[in-house]
């Protein structure tokens, strides 16, 4: 198999949560460019419509599903998996990207805010992986799961920066070990499970922190810049493709080097 063939996703189906904007849309575009048929899920129909309008002219087949993965009682993982299987008949790649954050000092962090972050960032990712694994990847004989964690899940925040994101850091740390545990358990099914840990990328979620701390973030980043519109695409394609077929349980920081200093 040639190197080009290793990265080719032609005919495969990729489901990307939080795929209507930001990093999710960036990854949807990347996988679609490599030939995958794309299913994106997000809460807001108008944002999904805008994402479809951005992807379709690039020749990418895209199917969008309005879905609130944080509303666990409504069984969104089951409903989303059913919708994608009814449309495409299979799911080869799952990118667990949907997430939330909340800023508050640990001593005053609201219980409902803690639960909201944990429910979407950890619980929903597990339930969706469970549904996709059981109903698609295990019967098909394999698949790729890519969890979007964060460099925030690799440690605490610098004490001189009052970021106050303990729930987010904790949830992303859980995603790191969820990735390792699931990789160890599902290797027998030929399912690769890996995680990407982005650093600071300009996004709706990160904008508030960047408004306050961008200068300090850049000073602590060896490459001296924030993540850009192209910087997650290569990592996503690598973990989604046959190029990573002998790689599982790995955590890749895409952060300009902040995790090494």
**Contact status, residue 51 vs residue 25, Cβ threshold 8 Å:** yes
**Contact status, residue 154 vs residue 197, Cβ threshold 8 Å:** yes
Contacts 24+ apart (CB under 8 A), 105-111: 105/164, 106/164, 106/166, 109/166, 109/167
Is 168 labeled as catalytic in the residue annotation? yes
Looking up tokens 């996503």 gives 236
pLDDT tens-digit map of 182-236: 999 999 999 999 999 998 887 766 666 666 777 777 878 889 888 888 999 999 9
Task: Give residues with Cβ within 8 angstroms of 157, minimum separation 6.
Answer: 163, 164, 165, 169
The pLDDT mean for the chain works out to 93
Total structural domains in the chain? 1
- Dist. CA 72–CA 75, nearest whole Å: 5
Is the pLDDT assigned to residue 9 strictly greater than 90?
Answer: yes
- Dist. CA 70–CA 76, nearest whole Å: 8
Q: Which of 127, 168, 189, 238 is catalytic?
A: 168
Mean pLDDT of 58-73: 97
- Dist. CA 245–CA 238, nearest whole Å: 9
**CATH code assigned at 40:** 3.40.50.720
More confident residue, 259 or 124: 124
Give the domain extent around 123: 3-260
Tell me whether residue 66 is exposed, middle or buried, using C-beta atoms within 10 angstroms of its C-beta: 0 to 12, 13 to 18, 19 or more: middle
pLDDT tens-digit map of 234-249: 999 999 999 999 999 9
Q: Which pLDDT belongs to residue 47?
A: 97
Is the pLDDT assigned to residue 261 strictly greater than 70?
Answer: no
């Amino acid at each position: 198999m040639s190197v080009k063939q290793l990265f080719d996703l032609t005919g495969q189906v990729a489901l990307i949560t939080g795929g209507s904007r930001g990093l999710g849309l960036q990854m949807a575009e990347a996988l679609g460019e490599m030939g995958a048929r794309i299913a994106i899920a997000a809460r807001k129909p108008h944002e999904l419509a805008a994402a479809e309008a951005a992807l379709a002219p690039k020749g990418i087949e895209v199917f969008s599903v309005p879905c609130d993965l944080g509303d666990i009682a409504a069984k969104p993982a089951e409903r989303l998996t059913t919708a994608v299987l009814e449309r495409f008949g299979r799911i080869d790649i799952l990118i667990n990207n949907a997430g939330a954050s909340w800023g508050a000092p640990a001593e005053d962090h609201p219980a409902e805010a803690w639960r909201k972050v944990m429910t979407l960032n950890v619980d929903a990712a597990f339930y969706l992986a469970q549904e996709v694994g059981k109903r698609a990847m295990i019967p098909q004989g394999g698949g790729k799961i890519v969890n979007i964690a964060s460099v925030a899940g690799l440690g605490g925040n610098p004490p001189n920066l009052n970021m106050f994101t303990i729930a987010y850091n904790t949830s992303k740390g859980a995603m790191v070990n969820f990735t390792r545990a699931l990789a160890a358990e599902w290797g027998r099914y030929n399912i690769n499970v890996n995680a990407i840990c982005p650093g600071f990328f300009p996004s709706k979620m990160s904008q508030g922190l960047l408004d306050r701390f961008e200068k300090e973030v850049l000073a602590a980043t060896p490459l001296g810049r924030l993540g850009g519109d192209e910087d997650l695409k290569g990592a996503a394609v690598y973990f989604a493709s046959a190029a990573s077929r002998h790689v599982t349980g790995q955590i890749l920081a895409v952060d300009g080097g902040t995790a090494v200093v």
